[in-house]
Structure 1
Amino acid sequence: MTDSNLTRRGLLARSGAVAGAALLASVAGSVVLSTPAYADSAATTPTGEDIREALRRYETNRGRVRSGKPSPNGWEMEKRTDGGGSVWTRPVPGTPLDGVAVRIGEVEAVLVHVIRRFHYEIDQLRKGEVTGWRSPGKVRKGLPEGNQASGTAVRIRPEFYPAGSTGGFFPHQLLVIRDILAELDGVVRWGGDDRKADESLFYIDVKPGDPRLAALVEKLRTWQDTPSEGAGTPVDVLADDRRRAAKALQRSQRS
């Protein structure tokens, strides 16, 4: 869900406009049309009142979800997941994970890519070894872990790599981590580079609306449609160009 979609719905609600099939096509699959008010009458064409009621229900539920407060990276923290907000449990293809709660859309695409490369190239993950969203009341909001409350961070095997400890990864695993970060153009930061090290933590390191995020997601989508590209495709992390990019980003993020 994007802010632009929410704005569009707000305008439709205020104007009371109902454009029949064109309106349905524009909002099909949205949270508004997936609310119980609409689902009960999904077999029929909704009236203007149906849509206004769905919007009222949506806005009421949204108030229960939104916190109005940003996580350290600037994204709004949410009070619940899978409840009408922007954070939902999403699948991680190619892994045995049941899913991970992350902010849907662009953030989801990036963090799922991180998890998949970790699984394929560092160590195979098992169910329960990745944690996404956590309640704002259960994270230290002043630390990068607070980004979990906005659905923009994941912890991979936190029991293996507890916060405050270092040296949890073997050298060849660190090479892969550095390669992943460079491949993602610095949009993701690794907690192992933070002042208070947190080697299980990976989080979005740009604010909402940063064009680098949209550009990266477009690159990832292109890889999905291209044979021998993307997560799961063997890469030479020791290749000169990849190592140069990884080292340059490491210097930049550590500074």
Structure 2
Amino acid sequence: MNELTRRRFVGATAGAATGLAATTLTTLGPAAPASAAPASRTWAGHRSANGWEILAAAQEHGIEGSGRTVRLAGGDAATILLHVARRYHYEIQQLRESDVRGHRTDRRVREPYESNHLSGTALVIRPAAYPLGVSGGLYPRELTVVRDILAELDGVVAWGGDFTVPKESHFEIAYAPGHPKVKGVARKVDGWNTGPGNEGAGATDAFDPGRRTRAEAFARSHRARS
């Protein structure tokens, strides 16, 4: 059984996204009807939707324990997003060839948040299994892990499953460069990476009752702010 058939997808494909200013997005085609996928547009700004500078190229980074790599902006963004990918690999499903995609130079986007790939501050994990506009693709245990990751990173990473037009494969840095929360969370992850090995990716129990309570509370408050 392939991945798409084993998943329970619910919800209709989302309609076209609310347009940004003409200086940021240039429409390539006619607006999609409500029942169709959003039309592709060209991102014309110098920064991605989350405020990071668009990159002509990005460094390739190894994802610990997986044998896979992904291109991301360096520094804090890579530290944080690699942590997401590691935990996904350890706790949800082992990453296979081409499962993870990060930086890209193709400026065509269907939703503004997809522009964050241009700055190397977003990644998608198994995008064919979790496409744009579809929600409900994660099993409950998988959703528990995702919620735990988001809570432990204190909202610095946003998940596409929470967006108005969802994309459950999508994870992005939610704050602009230099934001103190980005720096603080990156330091925390660095501490886990260089510590004794009993914290962080591969050493976390997302199903611990205390962690689940905190993650559920974080999810409620996060959705309330959205």
Using the size of structure 1 for normalisation, the TM-score is 0.67
Q: CA offset at residue 90 of structure 1?
A: 1.3
Structure-to-structure mapping, 1:5-154, within 5 angstroms:
69-78=46-55, 80-81=56-57, 87-97=58-68, 99-140=69-110, 143-154=112-123
Distance (Å, rounded) in 1 between the aligned partners of 2:195 and 2:107:
42
Contact 1:153 1:201 (8 Å CA) reproduced:
yes
Contact 2:124 2:171 (8 Å CA) reproduced:
yes
CA RMSD of aligned residues (A): 1.5
Contact 2:107 2:115 (8 Å CA) reproduced:
no
Contact 1:134 1:148 (8 Å CA) reproduced:
yes
Identity of aligned residues (%): 44
Distance (Å, rounded) in 1 between the aligned partners of 2:106 and 2:52:
12
Q: 165, 168, 180: which one pairs with 1:199?
A: 168
> Residue 195 of structure 2: SS of its match in structure 1?
coil
Per-residue CA distance 1:101-158 (angstroms, 9 max, x = gap)? 1000110000000000000000011111101012252334x52111111100000000
Q: CA offset at residue 93 of structure 1?
A: 1.8
Which one scores higher on RCO, CA 8 angstroms, separation ≥ 6? Answer: 2
Distance (Å, rounded) in 2 between the aligned partners of 1:167 and 1:113:
24
Contact 2:50 2:176 (8 Å CA) reproduced:
yes
Per-residue CA distance 1:78-103 (angstroms, 9 max, x = gap)? 2x21xxxxx21111121121x11100
* Alpha-carbon spacing, 1:68–1:196, altered in 2? closer, same or farther (3 Å): closer
The residue that corresponds to 1:170 in the other structure is 139
The residue that corresponds to 2:158 in the other structure is 189
> Residue 131 of structure 2: SS of its match in structure 1?
coil
**Runs of 4 or more consecutive aligned structure 1 residues displaced over 4 Å after TM superposition:** none
Please, which moves more after superposition, 240-249 or 123-132? 240-249
Per-residue CA distance 1:156-206 (angstroms, 9 max, x = gap)? 000011111111110000000000111111100100000001000000001
Amino acid in the other structure paired with 2:83:
H
> Residue 243 of structure 1: SS of its match in structure 2?
helix
Unaligned regions of 5+ residues in structure 1, if any?
1-66, 82-86
Distance (Å, rounded) in 1 between the aligned partners of 2:151 and 2:96:
26
> Residue 69 of structure 1: SS of its match in structure 2?
coil
The residue that corresponds to 1:3 in the other structure is none
Please, which moves more after superposition, 218-227 or 193-202? 218-227
Amino acid in the other structure paired with 2:135:
T
